[in-house]
Amino acid sequence: MLASHPAAADVANTLLAELIWAAPGGVLSGLEVCTLETSALLIVPGSRPEHVVFPEAGYVSLMAGDATRRVEVAMLGRRDLVGVDLALTDEVASYAAIVRVGGPAYCLPLDEIRRLLLECPAVAEVLHRHLRQQLEGSLWAHGASMVRSLERRLAAWLVEASGLLDSAILPATHDHIAQMLGFRRASVTVALHVLEGDGLIRSTRGRVEIRDRDRVACLAAGTR
């Protein structure tokens, strides 16, 4: 469904709002309102999607690796554009993009955003800056994960997911978290029990509730 040229104030995705401000009126006419279904595969490794996606709610995981083992390298939500790197190059995707928590979104044809990059310097500046920030964030997170304990990595993941969903209750199974962090399920279960024993979270079937976000954030930062 066409989005009827939404105003910046009417969208929840902050990157899309910035693009609407930066772009001349009407150039984002190809925007469509869509719904992201949980578990949907938005980008298949080795391919190029037809659309890029601006999530309005929920979040999308970027998963890297091979067919036998993939880990999460980025979590994208209402501050992001899924597929921004593919809009800037002719390359195929080296990762999978999977909807973890569904919700409303805006979609834009990949060909249209590539045209905008060539014809509208303000759009190109915004998207290049966003991609650089996304890359820097991923590199920092990867470096931090090399020295963090599992409990600290788990805490960091919980804080990030909570921020994207704007909720202290996260729909996530132990298997799901293990896949995201690249650890065995049994190890993640133990780490969850440690955080629960300290009163930081409450883990039940299919969800994790953050009970003390400040302490979880301190654990993630290593200041606890």
Last residue of a domain, one of 103, 124, 143: 143
What's the pTM?
A: 0.86
Residues 59 and 101 in one domain: yes
Of 32-36, 89-93, 123-127, 147-151, the least confident: 147-151
Pick 88 or 109 by higher pLDDT.
109
Residues 70 and 134 in one domain: yes
Residues 66 and 165 in one domain: no
Residues 15 and 110 in one domain: yes
Determine the average pLDDT of the residues in 159-187. 91
For 58-75, the pLDDT digits (tens) are: 999 999 887 677 888 889
Residues 21 and 84 in one domain: yes
Phi, psi (degrees; rounded to nearest 5) at 34: -140, 170
Q: Which amino acid is at 75?
A: M
Determine the average pLDDT of the residues in 114-118. 86
Pick 29 or 118 by higher pLDDT.
118
Determine the average pLDDT of the residues in 132-153. 70
How far is C-alpha 40 from the chain's CA centre?
14
Closest to 142 (Cα-Cα) out of 93, 221, 96, 73: 73
Strand partners, 24: none
Last residue of a domain, one of 102, 121, 143: 143
Average pLDDT of the chain?
A: 87
Phi, psi (degrees; rounded to nearest 5) at 122: -65, -40
Residues 102 and 162 in one domain: no
Task: Round to the nearest angstrom and report the end-to-end CA distance of the chain.
Answer: 48
Structure-block tokens of residue 40: 């949907």
192: how many CB neighbours lie within 10 A of its CB? 22
What percent of the chain has pLDDT above 90?
56
Residues 138 and 155 in one domain: no
Q: Which amino acid is at 189?
A: T
What percent of the chain has pLDDT above 70?
89
Closest to 168 (Cα-Cα) out of 214, 196, 205, 209: 209
Enclosing domain of residue 209 = 148-221
